[in-house]
Structure 1
Amino acid sequence: MLALGWIGWIIIGGLAGWIASKIKGTDAQQGLLLNIVVGIIGGLLGGWLLGVIGFDVSGGGLIFSFVTCLLGAVILLTIVQFFTRRK
């Protein structure tokens, strides 16, 4: 996934972060920059988790990279929501 380049990471991360924020209902609290950050960190998290499970994430292609970012972003937002709601 690191072969996408930084522009690819911004585009895919932004889209994945935005869709994940729509899924988790946090879109009103997040702006464009936070969506991109959530998508990129989600991509790293999703890639790591899929690698642990046994998937080959290095040669997955554009669609697989997007799905990985989306999966990781949803997981990341779920974790953040868990810790911010438990006050």
Structure 2
Amino acid sequence: MGIIGWVVLGLLAGLIAKAVMPGKDPGGFIVTAVIGVVGALIGGFIGNAIFGGGLQDFFSIRTWLLAILGSLILLAVYRVTIGKKTHHHA
């Protein structure tokens, strides 16, 4: 899968993750894309560790599920870390 495929996969996985876990997030389109692309990489590592194979081709259901799972994990970590910074009062 080429770089354009990774970006498209990541963007869509990030949007799906935000739809599954709605809420306010600092950042917009760019943050969603970064969370999705990095989340897809995380999903690939998880798939490789569990199944012995990570992300397949763009149209593979396993690729999409792993990318969305990784994006959900990264989104949750992002919200916890950014939430602590934004709710910190002096």
TM-score (norm 2): 0.74
Displacement of 1:85 in angstroms is: 3.1
Structure 2 counterpart of 1:17? 14
Structure 2: unaligned runs, 5 residues or longer: none
The structure 1 segments of at least 4 consecutive aligned residues displaced by more than 3 Å after TM superposition are 26-30, 58-61
CA RMSD of aligned residues (A): 2.2
Query: % of aligned pairs identical?
Result: 29
Name the count of aligned residue pairs. Answer: 84
1:73 to 71, 74, 77: 71
Q: Which has the higher Rg, Structure 1 or Structure 2?
A: 2
Letter in 2 for 1:81: R
Structure 1: unaligned runs, 5 residues or longer: none
Structure with greater contact order relative to length (CA < 8 Å, sep ≥ 6): 1
Q: Deviations over 1:55-87 (max 9, x none)?
A: 422546523222211110000011122223345
TM-score (norm 1): 0.77
1:29 to 26, 31, 34: 26
